[in-house]
Chain A
C-alpha cells in the first residue's frame, strides 16, 4: 500500500461496475426465480464486495500478509454463519419409524 498510486481511471471503472451490479441486482429481484433469487442477490453482493476490497481498499496491491488476514476474516464469517445454520437446519430432522427402531436396536446392544 505504499505510495504506488492506483490510476484514477481504474477507480472510475470500478465505480461503473459497482453501479452496474446495483442495477442488475434490483432488476433480478423483480424476476421470480424461487429460491435462486437469494443466491443471485448474494452472488452479486459478493462480487461487489470483492471489487471494493481488491481495488478501493488496495488489497490487490498489498502484501501476502494482508491477503491472508483479510481472507481469514471472511472465512471466519462463513464459519460463523454456516455452522450456526448447520445446527438450526438439522434440529427438526424427521425421525422415521425405521430410523427410531434402528437407534433402539443399537441401544439394546
Chain B
C-alpha cells in the first residue's frame, strides 16, 4: 500500500484524476456484471409475470405494502447518508465521515431487520415455496412461483446488503485509523457506488413485488 497521505498518484497513473477515474471505471465494470446477475432474475420475473399475471397479483396481496414502503424509505435514507459520507471524505472531515458511515450501517441493519421480520411472517403463513407451501385457490401454483422469485430476488438483495454492511464496518475502522484524505478516499467512493447500486435494485424490486396486487 502506497503512502496514503501524499497527494501523489500510484506510479502507473499520470495524475490523481486519472487514478480516480480508473477506480470508478473498475467499480462500474463490476456493477455491470451485477446488473446482468440481477437482470437474469428480472427476466425470469418478466416471463412468468406475463404468463401468470393473475397468480402473481394474488400472491403479491400477501406482502405488506407498509413494510415494503418503510424499507424503501429506509434504504433511500441510507443512500443519502452514504452520499454524505463520501462528501465528508472528499472534504477531509473524519469525524463526520465516521458518523455518516455508522448511520448508513444503522439504516442498512434496520432494513435487514424488517426483511427478517417479513421472512419470518411468511414462514408462519406457509407462504415459503416447497412442501410446506399452503394457499387455497386455482392460482396456488403460480403464487408459489411468485414466492420463489420473491425469496430469490429479495434474498440475493439481502446478501448484497449484508456484504455492504461488512464493507462499511471495515471503512469505519480504516477511517478511524486516519487512512482517508481528500486526495485518497477511493475505498469510500467505490463503496458508495456499490451501496447506491443495491439501493437501485430495491427501487425496482419494491413496485414489482409489493405493488402489483391492485388493491
Contacts and interface: CB of A to CB of B under 8 A. Distances in A.
Interface of A: 1-3, 5-6, 8, 11-12, 14-15, 18-19, 22, 25-26, 29-30, 32, 37-38, 41-42, 44-45, 48-49, 52-53, 55-58, 62-63, 65-66, 69-70, 72-74, 76-77, 80-81, 84-85, 88-89
A1 B83 contact: no
Contacts of B206: 22, 25, 45
B24 interface: yes
Contact of A57 (B84, B182, B193): B193
B76 A19 contact: yes
Given A42-B207, A49-B200, A29 B32 contact: no
Contact of B35 (A22, A41, A48, A74): A74
Interface of B: 16-17, 20-21, 24-25, 28-29, 31-32, 35-36, 39-40, 42-43, 46-47, 50-51, 65, 69, 72-73, 76-77, 79-80, 82-84, 87, 90-91, 182-183, 189, 192-193, 196-197, 199-200, 203-204, 206-208, 211-215
Given A15-B76, A80-B43, A6 B87 contact: yes
A22 B73 contact: yes
Contacts, number: 138
Contacts of A11: 80, 83-84, 87
B90 A66 contact: no
Nearest to B92: A3
Given A8-B84, A45-B204, 18 more contacts: A1-B20, A2-B20, A3-B183, A18-B79, A19-B76, A22-B69, A22-B72, A29-B211, A30-B215, A56-B79, A58-B24, A70-B28, A74-B35, A77-B39, A80-B40, A80-B43, A81-B39, A84-B46
